[in-house]
Amino acid sequence: MSTQHEIMRKEKRKKSRIRLIVESLIVIVFSAIFLVPFYFIIVNAMKTSPEASKLSISWPTEFRILENMQEVLAARDNMLLLAFFNSTVITVISILILLVVGSMAGFVLQRRKGKSINIIGSTFLAGLMIPPAVVPTIWVLEQFQLFKTFPGIILVMVAISIPFSIILYTGFIATIPKELDEAAIIDGCGGFRLFFSIIFPMLKPIHSTVIILNAVQIFNDFVHPLYFFPGADNATVQLTLYNFMSMYSTDWNLLFANVLLITIPPFILFLIFSEKIVAGMTAGSVKG
């Protein structure tokens, strides 16, 4: 028996080593996939224009990172600063709407049952798979005089992000006992007071997840501001990349410096709150 147990222990150790090696290789591969492009951007953002035009990963012979960033910030009458302002306004207001509307919708969809609720839930789920139609959306925005306006692009960003947010909220609210609602109603709480005084504060973990995931996506969005928020005065951070690209030439060092500047804020935000993102997304998987 002792010999058999010893053999089993050796097999377990062997499997553990193999698993550790496989996991380490996966981590190394995915780290390389992420870090190599980031290194490529940083290195070329430090170079002069002739050096950067070679698009190599070699170390720069002359460091011009500060000069390149200053030139990027000053390009086209400080357009990048205006773009940061526009993107921040769109992101912050969109996130506030998503937090309130998404959590309220998730609460109703989770607590109420019936065919109509199931149909509404399926409609939101379809929003994850059906992309917005550009021309009809522009036509609708124009009818309400919202095309090329902050309210228009904010509504578009909210409409795109709200299906996933509602799914997250619905899953998390399922972990909150219904008896809590019943006790609050017995004590005289109305629907809005029940939600905003009791349920909404309990959603902090999923709030963090919704904020970070949607903030990074909205802040870095390129396509939708291009279609629904055009114009030099309406530039967002991703659209400033056009400042250094043309049909005949591209200032690669300035382009990469621009990419670096607009990537750092959401990247830092993601690193700081990465644990809360995972905790919020797994919290709603306990029961549905």
pLDDT category of residue 4 using cuts at 50, 70 and 90: low
Range from 7-21, 24-38, 39-53 carrying the lowest mean pLDDT: 7-21
Average pLDDT estimate for 125-132: 77
Q: Name which residue leads in pLDDT, 78 or 278.
A: 78
Q: Please, what is the average pLDDT of the chain?
A: 86
Residue 286 pLDDT level (bands cut at 50, 70, 90): very low
Lowest mean pLDDT among 40-44, 188-192, 226-230, 269-273: 269-273
Q: What is the pLDDT of residue 231?
A: 87
Kindly tell me if the per-residue pLDDT of 191 is higher than 90: no
Say how far apart CA 240 and CA 125 lie, in whole Å. 33
For the segment 48-73, what is each residue's pLDDT rounded down to a tens digit? 989 998 888 888 988 899 999 999 99
Q: On the CB side of 102, how many CA atoms lie within 13 Å of its CA? A: 28
> pLDDT value at position 38?
87
- For residues 110 and 170, the answer to whether their CB atoms sit within 8 Å is yes
Partners of 245 in beta bridges: 250
pLDDT of 287 over the 50 cut: no
The answer to which of 10-14, 74-78, 148-152 has the lowest mean pLDDT is: 10-14
d(CA 65, CA 82): 21
What architecture (CATH level 2) is domain 71-283?
Orthogonal Bundle (1.10)
Backbone angles phi, psi at 250, to 5 degrees: -140, 130
At residue 274, the pLDDT reads 67
Query: Which residue's structure tokens are 């086209």?
Result: 76
Query: pLDDT of 139-188, one tens digit each?
Result: 999 999 999 999 999 999 999 999 999 989 998 898 888 888 888 888 88
- How far, in Å, CA of 223 to CA of 234, rounded? 14
- State how far the Cα of 46 lies from the Cα of 228, in Å rounded to an integer: 34
Residue pLDDT, tens place only, 242-275 = 888 876 778 899 999 999 999 888 888 777 776 6
Q: What percent of the chain has pLDDT over 90?
A: 39
Q: How far is CA 147 from CA 35, 106, 162, 250, in A?
A: 39, 29, 20, 31
Domain ranges of the chain: 71-283
Local confidence band at 115 (pLDDT 50, 70, 90 cut-offs): confident
With 0-12 / 13-18 / 19 or more C-beta atoms within 10 angstroms meaning exposed / middle / buried, residue 177 is exposed
Alpha helices in 46-114 (DSSP H): 49-52, 65-111
Q: Contact, 256 vs 37, CB < 8 A?
A: no
Instruction: Write phi, then psi, for 147 (nearest 5 degrees).
Output: -70, 135
158-171: pLDDT as tens digits: 999 999 999 899 98
Cα distance between residue 144 and residue 152, in whole Å = 9
Number of CB atoms found within 10 A of residue 5's CB: 9
Mean pLDDT of 35-55: 90
